C-alpha cells in the first residue's frame, strides 16, 4: 500500500514536471493551426504552468493563445514546416530549449529556469558539469546512451484524465525518489524491499525482476561484486535455495565488514523507525547471514576478484562446478572499473545466463543533483564527465557498441518488464551458440 501511494505521488510529480498540460479554463487554447497533422490540447500541444512558454509535438504546428494569470492575452506561434515531430518549446520570441521550471511544490526545481537570461544564469549554464547534466536529463536526448529508459516515448494519462506524462518521466522520478535525495529522507519504509526482515537495498521492481530471473534460469551460483550490507546476498541465496539447497552466492567487497557496517547501520536504523519496518537490520547483522555462511550458501570474500590472478583461478574452480552462473556487478559503479570487471569476469557466465551491471541510472541521479545544487555527494561525477567518463551506464554503452560484444552477448531490455528499473540497459545476456 505504501509503494502504491508513493507511485501516485511520483506520477503527480511527473505531471508537474511535465508542466501541467491541463485542459479547461486555464488560459491556453488553440488559436489557429498551420499543420496537416492534428493539434489536440494535452496530446500534441499545450502550455507550461506559467503560460509564458507553449509546447507542440507529433507534427502539430500552431498559433496558441495564452493568457497569463491576471495578465494580457498573447498569441504564440510554434513550429515550422519540416520541424522534427519531437517536443518543441516556444515563447513569444521563438523556439526555446527544453525549459527547466522552478517547482512551486513537490520536488525542488532546477537552479535557473531556461527562460532566465540573467548573467548569473548564463554563467551557471556555461559550467561543463551543468551542460553535461542538462544533456543527461533532456527528454529528447538522442544518443546511444544505454541507460535511456526503454519506453522513452510512451505516454500515459494521469488518473484525473486531464494530464499527460511520459513513462520516461515516471522512471526518472522513480529513480530520484529512491536516490540519495529522495523518499528515504521522508518515508524510510517506502525505499527498497525487505526480505525476511533484512534490508536488501534493492528497489521494488528490480527485486521482482531478479527473483524471476534467478528462478527461471535456475541459477546455482551468483558471483556478486559489492557485498556492502549483505542484504542482496541473502536475497539471492534464499531465492536460489528454494530450488537448489546447495546454491551459492560468492560475494566480494574491497572493504572490511566492520567498515561497511558503520555505513549500513544508520540507514537501516532510520528505516526501522517507520511503521511496518520494526526490527529491520542490515544483512550482515541478521541471523540469516550467520546461518548461510555456516552452511556455505554465502561465501564472502574481501577483495576484488579482478585484482589478483590467483583470485581468478579460485573463481574458475568454483564456477566450473556450477551448472548456471550469473555475475552481478554492484561494486564501484564507475565507468572504468565496470568495463574492467566485465572483460575479466564475463568468461564465467554460462551461455543463456546474464551479467548484470547494476545502478546504470547513477548518471541521472548525479545530473539531477547538480541541477538542483545537491552535488556535494556526487562531485566525482562532474570530474568523470570532464574526462569523458561517467558511471555504469556509460560503461555499458561503451561495451555494447562494439563488434566484439555483439559476437557473444546481447543487451536484453525485455527483462525490464516494469519499465522502471535502477539498472536500465544493464542486463547483458550471453548468447547460446550452436557449436
pLDDT digits (tens, 9 = 90+) for 348-386: 999 999 999 998 888 777 877 777 776 566 767 767 776
Question: Could you tell me the pTM of the whole model?
Answer: 0.72
Tell me the residue length of the chain: 435
* Cα end-to-end span (Å), the chain: 50
Q: Is the pLDDT of residue 108 over 50?
A: no
The mean of the pLDDT values for the chain is 78
The pLDDT confidence band at residue 270, using thresholds 50, 70 and 90, is low
* 89, 53 Cβ separation under 8 angstroms: yes
Q: Is the pLDDT of residue 216 over 90?
A: yes
Please report where in the chains the cell 507511485 appears, as a residue.
Answer: 7
Residue 249 has what pLDDT?
98
28 three-state secondary structure: strand
The pLDDT confidence band at residue 144, using thresholds 50, 70 and 90, is very low
Q: Which of 21-25, 37-41, 426-430 has the lowest mean pLDDT?
A: 21-25
Q: Is the pLDDT of residue 23 over 50?
A: no
The pLDDT confidence band at residue 119, using thresholds 50, 70 and 90, is confident
Q: Is the pLDDT of residue 19 over 70?
A: no
The closest alpha carbon to 17, from 106, 78, 113, 134, belongs to: 106
Interval 157-179 mean pLDDT: 67
Q: Which of 68-72, 325-329, 332-336, 406-410 has the lowest mean pLDDT?
A: 68-72
Percent of the chain exceeding pLDDT 70 equals 70
Choose between 185 and 92: higher pLDDT.
Answer: 92
Residues 321 and 350: their CA atoms lie apart, in Å, by: 12
For residue range 48-63, list pLDDT tens digits in order: 755 577 888 878 999 9
User: What are the φ and ψ backbone dihedral angles of 357, each rounded to 5 degrees?
Assistant: -95, 110
b/e string for 102-111 if b means 16 or more Cβ within 10 A? eeeeebebbb
For residue range 218-249, list pLDDT tens digits in order: 999 999 999 999 999 999 999 999 999 999 99
C-alpha grid cell, residue 260: 561497511
Interval 394-422 mean pLDDT: 89
Burial of 369 by CB count in 10 Å (0-12 exposed, 13-18 middle, 19+ buried)? buried
Residue 13 has what pLDDT?
43
Interval 201-223 mean pLDDT: 93
Neighbours of 336 (CB within 10 A): 13
Residue 380 has what pLDDT?
73
Residue 157 has what pLDDT?
64
Residue 324 has what pLDDT?
98
The closest alpha carbon to 276, from 197, 383, 345, belongs to: 197
Residue 38 has what pLDDT?
85
Q: Is the pLDDT of residue 412 over 50?
A: yes
Q: H or E stretch including 55?
A: strand 54-56
Q: Is the pLDDT of residue 101 over 50?
A: no
Sequence ranges of the domains in the chain? 28-95, 98-138, 180-265+281-430
C-alpha grid cell, residue 188: 524510510
Interval 272-289 mean pLDDT: 73
Residue 2 has what pLDDT?
40
Q: Is the pLDDT of residue 150 over 50?
A: yes
258 three-state secondary structure: helix
Residues 314 and 334: their CA atoms lie apart, in Å, by: 25
Residue 8 has what pLDDT?
41
* 370, 128 Cβ separation under 8 angstroms: no
Domain at 180-265+281-430, CATH from 3.40.190.10, 3.40.50.300, 3.40.50.150, 1.20.120.80: 3.40.50.150
Residue 41 has what pLDDT?
84
* 192, 199 Cβ separation under 8 angstroms: yes
Residues 364 and 98: their CA atoms lie apart, in Å, by: 17
H-helix segments, 220-296: 231-241, 257-272, 287-295
Interval 144-166 mean pLDDT: 59
Residue 277 has what pLDDT?
54
C-alpha grid cell, residue 50: 506559467
No. of helices (H) and no. of strands (E), the chain: 14, 19
Residue 182 has what pLDDT?
57
Burial of 289 by CB count in 10 Å (0-12 exposed, 13-18 middle, 19+ buried)? buried
User: Across 28-37, 106-115, 185-194, 417-426, which has the greatest mean pLDDT?
Assistant: 28-37
Amino acid at each position: 500500500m505504501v509503494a502504491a501511494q508513493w507511485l501516485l505521488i511520483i506520477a503527480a510529480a511527473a505531471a508537474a514536471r511535465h508542466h501541467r498540460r491541463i485542459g479547461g479554463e486555464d488560459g491556453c487554447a488553440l488559436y489557429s493551426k498551420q499543420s496537416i497533422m492534428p493539434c489536440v490540447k494535452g496530446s500534441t500541444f499545450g502550455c507550461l504552468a506559467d503560460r509564458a512558454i507553449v509546447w507542440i509535438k507529433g507534427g502539430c504546428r500552431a498559433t496558441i493563445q495564452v493568457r497569463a494569470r491576471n495578465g494580457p492575452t498573447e498569441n504564440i506561434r510554434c513550429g515550422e514546416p519540416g520541424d522534427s515531430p519531437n517536443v518543441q518549446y516556444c515563447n513569444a520570441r521563438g523556439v526555446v530549449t527544453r525549459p527547466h521550471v522552478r517547482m512551486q511544490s513537490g520536488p525542488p526545481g532546477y537552479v535557473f529556469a531556461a527562460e532566465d537570461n540573467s548573467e548569473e544564469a548564463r554563467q551557471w549554464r556555461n559550467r561543463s558539469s551543468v551542460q553535461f547534466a542538462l544533456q543527461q536529463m533532456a527528454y529528447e536526448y538522442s544518443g546511444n546512451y544505454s541507460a535511456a529508459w526503454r519506453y522513452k516515448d510512451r505516454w500515459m494519462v494521469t488518473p484525473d484524465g486531464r494530464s499527460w506524462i511520459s513513462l520516461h518521466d515516471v522512471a526518472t522520478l522513480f529513480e530520484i525518489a529512491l536516490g540519495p535525495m529522495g523518499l528515504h529522507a521522508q518515508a524510510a519504509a517506502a525505499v527498497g524491499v525487505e526480505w525476511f526482515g533484512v534490508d536488501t537495498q534493492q528497489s521494488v521492481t528490480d527485486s521482482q525482476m531478479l527473483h524471476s530471473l534467478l528462478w527461471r534460469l535456475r541459477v546455482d551460483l551468483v558471483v556478486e561484486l559489492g557485498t556492502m550490507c549483505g542484504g542482496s546476498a541473502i536475497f539471492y541465496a534464499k531465492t536460489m535455495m528454494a530450488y537448489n539447497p546447495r546454491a551459492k552466492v560468492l560475494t566480494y567487497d574491497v572493504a572490511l565488514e566492520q567498515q561497511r557496517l558503520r555505513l549500513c547501520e544508520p540507514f537501516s536504523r532510520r528505516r526501522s523507525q517507520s511503521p511496518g519496518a520494526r526490527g529491520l537490520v542490515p544483512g550482515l547483522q541478521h541471523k540469516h547471514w550467520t546461518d548461510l555462511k555456516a552452511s556455505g550458501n554465502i561465501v564472502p570474500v574481501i577483495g576484488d576478484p579482478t585484482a589478483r590472478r590467483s583470485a581468478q583461478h579460485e573463481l574458475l574452480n568454483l564456477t566450473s562446478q556450477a551448472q548456471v552462473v550469473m555475475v552481478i556487478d554492484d561494486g564501484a559503479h564507475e565507468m572504468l572499473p565496470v568495463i574492467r570487471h566485465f572483460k575479466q569476469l564475463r568468461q564465467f557466465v554460462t551461455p543463456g545466463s546474464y551479467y548484470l551491471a547494476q545502478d546504470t541510472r547513477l548518471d541521472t541521479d548525479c545530473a539531477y543533483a547538480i541541477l538542483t545544487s545537491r552535488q556535494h555527494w556526487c562531485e566525482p561525477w562532474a570530474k568523470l564527465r570532464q574526462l569523458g567518463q561517467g558511471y555504469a551506464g556509460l560503461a555499458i554503452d561503451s561495451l555494447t557498441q562494439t563488434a566484439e560484444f555483439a559476437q557473444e552477448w546481447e543487451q536484453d531490455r525485455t527483462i525490464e518488464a516494469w519499465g522502471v528499473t535502477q539498472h536500465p540497459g544493464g542486463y547483458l545476456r550471453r548468447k547460446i551458440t550452436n557449436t
